[in-house]
Amino acid sequence: MSRKQVTLADLAQELGISTATVSRALKDYPDISPATKKRVLELANKLNYRPNSIAAGLRKRESKIIGVIIPSIVNHFFSSVIKGIMQVAYEAGYKVMLCQTDESFEKEVADTRAMFDSRVDGLLVSLAHETDSFDHFKPFFESNVPVVFFDKVPPTLDDVSRVVVDDYKGAFLAVEHMIQQGCKKIAHFRGPQSAYTSRNRNQGYIDAIKKHGLPLDDSLLYDCAHITIEEGQSFAKEVLAQHPDCDGIFTITDAVGLGAMIALKEMGYRIPKDVALVGFSDWEISKVVDPPLSSVSQPSLQMGRQAASILLEEIIATRDEVDYANKNVMLDTKLQIRASSLSKELAV
């Protein structure tokens, strides 16, 4: 699709007045009549016009800046994604404006508005866990500003590009591995089910359990609200109190897995002989803890580069008023098997 942002000239042409009059009306100058101000403001609101705060790019209708909204910067996965984005952006002569939502829907809405008001040429977004409504992206869509989602993407928006990893397959292989290593009762510390990633990982867990004929017990599912180490610690203590025969735990992320590991050690459980552990994301620290944590690795750098490349293609197409097709890219995951989930018969 062809995309462009609304400018002062667009408003002026639509209203049949000069750009200077439009500008003065928007700034509430006293020499502009109330009727004209009303007409200008109504059209500006209708077309989602926002003043361009980057004057240098106004003449070209581009800022040479792309916006990035992510849930967390202090996270190995997202820091690697950002690195990939910046590599591609800087190679193409673009700078990056970055916002962190801390998994807050409210912050995501505010950050999205700030990006729009700053006239970024395009937007890259990984949704917050709390996000289940997407109206705050409408100004971008209605103003034909390219938006590409990555990692945590909206399930109900079809006409956008997205880059994800195969969360389902990664989770399925992780749980199947634990079963093949001798686990009979596996708990899943999952993420909020409003999130695309969490739902797919949860479904991978469920389908692996079903495939191997193990009982599917909803009481073995624990919902992380914030996906933290502390939740991993708390749920590990809870699941062993409720299910003393639980012999495996699959966690939504490595952070939760490391929390579970801390709690299991505190309670005197041997990993993996008593309880096996597998996480997701393959943080660097997972390789050096004792025992090293098995985890599903994600190509985070590749995700960042791929998402940025697609966005730049759409920005260029928008600038040149050329039609383009949205892209849906799924990157593969890989199970990294380490000592935390090795065969229980071989564990000492």
- What is the sign, positive or negative, of the torsion defined by CA atoms of 285, 344, 299, 235? negative
Distance CA 248, CA 187 (A): 6
Query: Does the residue 51 lie in any domain?
Result: no
Mean pLDDT lowest among 219-223, 226-230, 240-244: 226-230
Taking Cα atoms as reference points, which of 265, 198, 238, 266 lies closest to residue 277?
Answer: 265
Task: Indicate the length of the chain as a whole number.
Answer: 348
Q: Is the same domain home to 188 and 145?
A: no
Residue 89, CA distances (Å) to 46, 49, 316, 332 in order: 32, 26, 13, 23
Res. 3: pLDDT tops 70: no
Mean pLDDT lowest among 42-51, 200-209, 210-219: 42-51
At 59 the pLDDT is 39
Q: Is the same domain home to 188 and 265?
A: yes
Our measurement of the distance from residue 143's CA atom to the centroid of its chain's CA atoms, rounded to an integer in Å, reads: 23
Res. 57: pLDDT tops 70: no
The residues, any chain, with a CB within 8 Å of residue 268's CB and separated by 6 or more, are none
Q: Is the same domain home to 291 and 304?
A: no
Query: Does the residue 287 lie in any domain?
Result: yes
**Domain extent for 285:** 167-298+335-341
Query: Does the residue 321 lie in any domain?
Result: yes
- pTM for the full model? 0.79
Mean pLDDT of the chain: 91
Q: Is the same domain home to 134 and 42?
A: no
Res. 54: pLDDT tops 60: no
Q: Is the same domain home to 280 and 171?
A: yes
Output the domain CATH number for residue 109: 3.40.50.2300
pLDDT band at residue 23 under the 50/70/90 scheme: confident
Beta bridge partners of 279: 295
Q: Is the same domain home to 140 and 33?
A: no
Query: Does the residue 56 lie in any domain?
Result: no
Encode pLDDT of 93-134 as tens digits: 999 999 999 999 999 999 999 999 999 999 999 999 889 899
Structure tokens at 231: 């939740």
The residues, any chain, with a CB within 8 Å of residue 306's CB and separated by 6 or more, are 84, 163, 329, 331
Q: Is the same domain home to 87 and 157?
A: yes
Q: Is the same domain home to 74 and 159?
A: yes
Query: Does the residue 55 lie in any domain?
Result: no
Residue 192, CA distances (Å) to 188, 301, 309, 329, 337 in order: 12, 25, 29, 23, 26
Q: Is the same domain home to 161 and 188?
A: no
Query: Does the residue 133 lie in any domain?
Result: yes
Q: What phi and psi values does residue 160 have, to the nearest 5 degrees?
A: -140, 155
Query: Does the residue 259 lie in any domain?
Result: yes
At 61 the pLDDT is 61
pLDDT band at residue 347 under the 50/70/90 scheme: very low
Q: Is the same domain home to 184 and 203?
A: yes
Most confident of 6-10, 42-46, 62-66, 202-206: 202-206
Query: Does the residue 154 lie in any domain?
Result: yes
Q: Is the same domain home to 144 and 114?
A: yes
Which of 155 and 248 is assigned the larger pLDDT? 248
Mean pLDDT lowest among 16-20, 69-73, 147-151, 299-303: 16-20
Q: Is the same domain home to 171 and 121?
A: no
pLDDT band at residue 52 under the 50/70/90 scheme: low
At 180 the pLDDT is 97
**How many domains, in total, are found in the chain?**
3
Res. 346: pLDDT tops 80: no
Res. 344: pLDDT tops 60: no
Percent of the chain whose pLDDT exceeds 70: 94
